[in-house]
Structure 1
């Protein structure tokens, strides 16, 4: 193809353009640090040069363990600028979980926040990979000494990053993104959320989660402001929103719930008006009502790690304006339609055919398009299983409405979604049964007003053994990230089918009914 009419797509080019167009505009607010787009572009190219100086070559994997801030944002551009593949790490994981990812991805360099030095060191030692560790303090020294570098992208379908799932089948899978998909998904997010140069984006969503739903690139292509927040602190969030004229934020409904519950939450629309994009669970009518009273618009998104974040968007329609809260909530609770770069979202039966668009016939949601992964890193069998006919099966069950909007009716049975984080029940069960007093264990979701869902455990003790619920919870916390530990443990015989299979549907009903 002629160079006259074709240029490989890469999201790094968004920063190059914004540095030229918006060079002196404020790009990043991170505590006391301020960076213009020209300064951000210079630091990103120096990071690329620094990585090359550490021996990183095109295709090598570079991991980053850091909260929302300039280090993680710069790495999102700087690692691919060096031709390397970025591996964003969830800072809430345990050292053992991180060690598995470092080893599986064959990471050669690990950049990390100074406050996470202990966790990074332990994970590196356990991984057997022995990556080169670079703390935030050493990072600045490396940038000062490095020469700017930009490795051109010649094939837009080469890997950009490996994003690990939360381990919904026990072990996390490495989802491979390519440059083209990230570029196009960023464009889709910018368009659907109406980002522009005057916008301010507050980082309430972790940048390490699906690359922040591709908003690091979307905000940058618009020339808007990145306002960083290391952790969700409602008081600090409202202060930043007002000081920096924030117009956009993203997160699970629990994030919006905590913001609206704070004393500093507005009672009328701020100027400029705020848009909250929520995913991971549908916003409840009560949450929508509180948001509307505060003058906050809510946009419901749906996606997975395998789809670069939101592949489906609850596209608002002009005719919805003026509807009552309950009616609007019913419409907003639907997951929606494919975004502008995705193909039409399908709901398919067991035979792989589309179910009727009658809002009643249940099938599995299937997606395809430019915002679907290349595949799972080093796992071709799982890749083939996930997309047996060229359509990715999400594992979520839903219905299709006559207007083409899809709506989830159930999730993959054993996956617990708590505060937007996926928890594999089998992983927690394995941690429980590793205790010598536990004979059997089953973990299911219990509805929770704040987190959406939380894990609870049902345990049968080994004969003659004893252990308390608190001891088991602490046992799990010693092996997994704390948010994966059960919030309650109930003891007794587990209900089973005639073939000996544990009836988790019965346990879910018990959990929903409460401790009694």
Structure 2
């Protein structure tokens, strides 16, 4: 039976439009056409100009034969063409594949083939890698390569393509009559996971999810109009956590940064009055541990967002000393970057640094516009007790969740089993609803039948004043099956010994959780600052034992 609310009330163009982040830049260009949009070296580009250039790019792509759902790959640092691609590519109806610029040619070749890219836009810094990747491609379908020229690039420019970016844009129409997607479920971006085991998986984003997460970013940060955002987070990583679209919605300023270096970051903060930035723990640690003189004159009140690992007490304290406001978020590529936030309460301000660090180390609660996040028993799919002890798996449900894995129906089906996205992260949930990761399911150390959370041990290691970074993995043991092996990166100039580290751990951990192996040295990290535990597992077998 038809409801009275459906009778003679048809959906039409006047009362329904697909949700897409492309509408953000259109509005901002109409309302604030002369507001600054992009800063890059001497370049100052307004939102009106950025919107026109995005339309030019879309027009040029269509004239080059790019059609709906074709893949356009980009291999770019955080520069203006990368910002423009986040709008121009989907305006053409195409799907943006932002390639990880730190990957080897073999991985890039796989992604180009698997995503069936029709176009690649490449920065001169990565032209050599792309040239090798093109030679390694298995599928030899025609591929249009476009070379970006950047005055801030100081190396030797190697031409790979048949056209330069500016010449290609000249062939497009700045008044191009683009349109919103026919369906908000249409793909807007393709992002590949790190691929630590086997080939990486292609994660497909839709317009609705991109817009939803971009708006949630505003709400979590109370981001004002015309925020000044410094690009320390790679835009190739989950599309910069959707912040290119967030900045367009707020008519903010994209302060571009080719390289993440402490001096360059502090200089940009002073020169441009930066108000917001995001990054992995390694980026925040870089700033906290920079020389005091380098920090002089940096504006107070800068809002920083951290994800990838819980911020230790030393980081929170260091950020507070610089006058920065740190927000801890959590997510995965499959949920558009951050999709939960450790929302802070005023009552926490009166607590000591140790207790504040404990509370802020939790992964928190769902983003405003994410439908639900729960810690569930993966066998029963029932919520675990909110006792802070019972472990389950973090699962997501809502618009801020991928369409699925490209050309991988079996893995997609497994990821969405039971109507939830399975993160693979094991956690507990507290009485206040906040949850805290205890480990990845693959990272739990089982020693003598006892489960040891590598994250719990890492949290203790970070409390040691001389520790800059730490990671704990399982080391095979003939008696216990597995025992914890700690890899520790020390701060410059300290002289701590492995025995000191073990003694510190004994003060805070049960005996069976204390690392029996401690290795000093720089930790292997991904391009986004995540520690590569799979590499450490390879090294763990040769680690020397410590008398515990």
TM-score range, shorter chain: 0.7 to 0.9
Distance 1:315 1:281 in 2: 16
Q: Is the 8 A contact 2:263 2:294 kept in 1?
A: no
Aligned position for 1:5: 15
1:49 matched to 2:80 = no
Q: How does 1:207-218 map to 2 (within 5 A)?
A: 207-218=235-246
Aligned position for 2:442: 413
Distance 1:238 1:26 in 2: 20
Aligned position for 2:38: 28
Distance 1:66 1:262 in 2: 27
Aligned position for 1:354: 383
Equivalent residue in structure 1 for 2:148, among 125, 131, 136: 136
Distance 2:315 2:148 in 1: 38
Alpha-carbon distance, 1:318 to partner? 2.2
Alpha-carbon distance, 1:32 to partner? 2.0
Distance 2:370 2:489 in 1: 32
Aligned position for 1:394: 423
Question: Structure 1 residues 483, 381: CA separation in 2 closer, same or farther (over 3 Å shift)?
Answer: closer
Question: Structure 1 residues 484, 406: CA separation in 2 closer, same or farther (over 3 Å shift)?
Answer: closer
Aligned position for 1:190: 218
Alpha-carbon distance, 1:120 to partner? 1.3
Q: Is the 8 A contact 2:22 2:180 kept in 1?
A: no
Deviation string, structure 1 residues 116-174 (Cα, Å, up to 9, x no partner): 11111211221234421111040111112311332431111111111110014422100
Alpha-carbon distance, 1:190 to partner? 1.2
Match of 1:56, SS state, is coil
Match of 1:206, SS state, is coil
Aligned position for 1:315: 343
Match of 2:417, SS state, is coil
TM-score, normalized by length of structure 1? 0.81
1:294 matched to 2:322 = yes
1:85 matched to 2:111 = no
Question: Structure 1 residues 490, 177: CA separation in 2 closer, same or farther (over 3 Å shift)?
Answer: closer
Distance 2:92 2:547 in 1: 54
Between 1:314-323 and 1:247-256, the stretch displaced more is 314-323
Q: How does 1:27-176 map to 2 (within 5 A)?
A: 27-130=37-140, 131-137=143-149, 138-148=164-174, 149=176, 150-176=178-204
Q: Is the 8 A contact 1:235 1:264 kept in 2?
A: no
Match of 1:389, SS state, is helix
Deviation string, structure 1 residues 57-116 (Cα, Å, up to 9, x no partner): 111000000111111111011100110011110000000001111111111101110221
Deviation string, structure 1 residues 288-346 (Cα, Å, up to 9, x no partner): 11111111111000000000011111011122222221111011000000001112311
Deviation string, structure 1 residues 444-500 (Cα, Å, up to 9, x no partner): 8835458xxxxxxxxxxxxxxxxxxxxxxxxxx9xxx99799479759xx6xxxxxx
Q: How does 1:300-339 map to 2 (within 5 A)?
A: 300-339=328-367
Question: Structure 1 residues 101, 184: CA separation in 2 closer, same or farther (over 3 Å shift)?
Answer: same
Distance 1:88 1:372 in 2: 18
Deviation string, structure 1 residues 346-400 (Cα, Å, up to 9, x no partner): 1111221110000000011111111000110011100011111110110000000
Deviation string, structure 1 residues 219-277 (Cα, Å, up to 9, x no partner): 11101111011121110100000111101110111100101222257779954511110
Q: How many residues align?
A: 449
Alpha-carbon distance, 1:412 to partner? 3.3
Aligned position for 1:237: 265
Question: Structure 1 residues 251, 11: CA separation in 2 closer, same or farther (over 3 Å shift)?
Answer: same
Give unmatched runs, 5+ long, in structure 1: 426-442, 451-476, 495-506
Question: Structure 1 residues 362, 154: CA separation in 2 closer, same or farther (over 3 Å shift)?
Answer: same
Q: Is the 8 A contact 1:365 1:396 kept in 2?
A: yes
TM-score, normalized by length of structure 2? 0.77
Q: Is the 8 A contact 1:345 1:406 kept in 2?
A: no
Match of 1:28, SS state, is strand
Q: Is the 8 A contact 1:62 1:85 kept in 2?
A: yes
Following TM superposition, the consecutive aligned residue runs of length 4 or more in structure 1 with deviations greater than 6 angstroms are: 265-269, 415-418, 481-485, 513-516
Q: Is the 8 A contact 2:18 2:180 kept in 1?
A: no
Q: Is the 8 A contact 2:404 2:412 kept in 1?
A: yes
Aligned position for 2:206: 178
Match of 1:345, SS state, is strand
Q: Is the 8 A contact 2:301 2:323 kept in 1?
A: yes
Aligned position for 1:384: 413
Question: Structure 1 residues 489, 370: CA separation in 2 closer, same or farther (over 3 Å shift)?
Answer: closer
Distance 2:242 2:386 in 1: 31
Alpha-carbon distance, 1:6 to partner? 1.1
